[in-house]
Amino acid sequence: MIVMKFGGSSLATSDALTRVAGLIADRADRAPVVVVSAMGRTTDGLVAAVDLAAHGGLANARRRVAGIRGDLLAAAAPVLADVAGLERLVDAHCDELDRTLAEIAAADGWSRPRLTDAALSHGERISSLVMARLLGQRGLDAVHVDARDVLVTDNRFTEAVPAFGATNARLDRLVRPHATAGRVAVMGGFIARTGDGHPSTLGRGGSDFSASIVGAGVGADEIQIWTDVDGVMTADPSVVPDVRLLPRLSFAEASELAYFGGRVLHPRTVLPAVERDIPVRVLNSRKPEVEGTLIVAACPPSDLVVKSIVYKEGITVIDVRSTRMLMAHGFLAAIFEVFDRLETAVDVVSTSEVAVSLTIDRTDRLADLVGELRRIAEVEHTGGQAIVCLVGEAIRDTPGVAATAFTALRAINVRMVSQGSARTNFSLVIDERDVPAAVRALHAAFFETPAEPAGA
């Protein structure tokens, strides 16, 4: 049994839909469970419609939905025989969406996240129904499974956390029997329901996470993430033209890459796969002959010290300083208690006796954070920063990585430096305007003249 997840760009046009159906048909003997994102840029359009409705632009929001309807029909109608049935399907969703947008327009702030998830769910609901119908047309025994009946989450709308016990029980009851019977189960990614029945979502990019949850829950042999790139690269191809494809990564390396800005995988994708030791393979739906990148628990030794260079923009650095805390215990505890209470994650930390610098990538609670921290120390914050991260398991045992990095970045100001506790990453905080130059310089240093392995 395998799980095949397809992203929105792999489903954006009639040709893309046909290509994906062919990929699934070619692997029908492996009992695929298919997880799909919303088609094309549907989710972006839905997010824009929700924002318009929430800020007094209900008429414009409805016009945006009309545009989404047109795009969906333009992509799916050429490949489905029952066009009238397709139109009824899409129109029913648009009517339901229209009512939800009206509720959002009239709602208070407290209820909007719940209504937002209800609105955003339509993209995956439509795409999964379209794909199930298309596979049936091709002679496959395909069945649509509403992901909202399977994935159970808490009530943190727009970024819900799965309840794995309840979800796995439903996967065992509602999905596994289809694969066992030779049917292709098709589900939407990203969407779920809370324990009390409200639609919820796993956050942007959550379809990858859905696929990993499903794969772990049904005990798949492999989780395949089909995208529009050949796999995981040594850097962002839009920044570095001569990147290399990485044939293998460890779970630890993939997790670091995803968390620190890798564009191929959602940060939480590998977590369920790690727990069940299920390989994850990243593939290109446009070039299925390319083997892609295989992510496994342990990789064979590589001649690459650094596997990949990733970056995360939109970072804010918060500097906390208090001479009163010199040599005093409890300073860090007091600081992190504030971040914990305000539910704000910290990426990179640098400390001294009287000061702590931290980075965050969300600023929605920045004013509250600064206000709370100023009760115990002096606080300054600087936006427009970026984290550039070198990732590779060999970093922990290779001398000279920092020296090579700083030599490459000798013309760029580095504000903070950090090495993760697992020592598989080396992170630097710089001005985000310097990211392209920094990534290109580091890539040239580590991949054109790679550092020598330990003991060389």
Please tell me the predicted confidence (pLDDT) of residue 170: 97
Percent helix, strand and coil across the chain, each to the nearest 5: 45, 20, 35
Domain with CATH 3.40.1160.10 in the chain: 2-228
Mean pLDDT of the chain: 92
State residue 453's pLDDT score: 39
What tens digit of pLDDT does each residue of 28-45 get? 999 999 999 999 999 999
Residue in the block written with tokens 């798949």: 220
Instruction: Note the pLDDT tens digit of each residue in 163-173.
Output: 999 999 999 99
Whether residue 451 has pLDDT greater than 90:
no
Share of residues in the chain with pLDDT > 90 (%): 79
Give the pLDDT confidence score for residue 454 in this predicted structure: 35
In the chain, CATH 3.30.2130.10 covers 308-448
Tens-place pLDDT, residues 283-303: 999 999 999 999 998 888 888
The average pLDDT across 14-25 equals: 97
Q: Is the pLDDT of residue 456 over 90?
A: no
- The string of DSSP letters for 295-337 reads EESSPPP-S-S--EEEEEEEEEEEEEE-GGGTT-TTHHHHHHH
Q: Which of 94-98, 311-315, 323-327 has the lowest mean pLDDT?
A: 323-327
The CATH number of domain 308-448, selected from 3.30.2130.10, 3.40.50.300, 3.30.70.260, 3.10.20.30: 3.30.2130.10
pLDDT of 2 strictly over 80: yes
Segment 448-455 long-range contacts (CB within 8 Å, at least 24 positions apart): 450/303, 450/304, 450/305, 450/306, 451/305, 451/306, 451/398, 451/400, 451/401, 451/404, 452/398, 452/400, 453/303, 453/305, 453/394, 453/398, 454/394, 454/397, 454/398, 454/399
Q: What is the pLDDT of residue 325?
A: 61
The model's pLDDT over 217-245, given as tens digits with 9 standing for 90+, comes to 999 999 999 998 899 999 999 999 999 99
* Contact of 143 with 132, CB cutoff 8 Å: yes
pTM of the model: 0.89
Tell me, what's the pLDDT at 452? 44
User: Which tens digit of pLDDT belongs to each residue from 360-414?
Assistant: 998 999 999 999 999 988 999 999 999 999 999 989 888 999 999 999 999 999 9
- Choices 3.40.1160.10, 3.40.630.30, 3.30.920.30, 3.40.228.10: CATH for 2-228: 3.40.1160.10
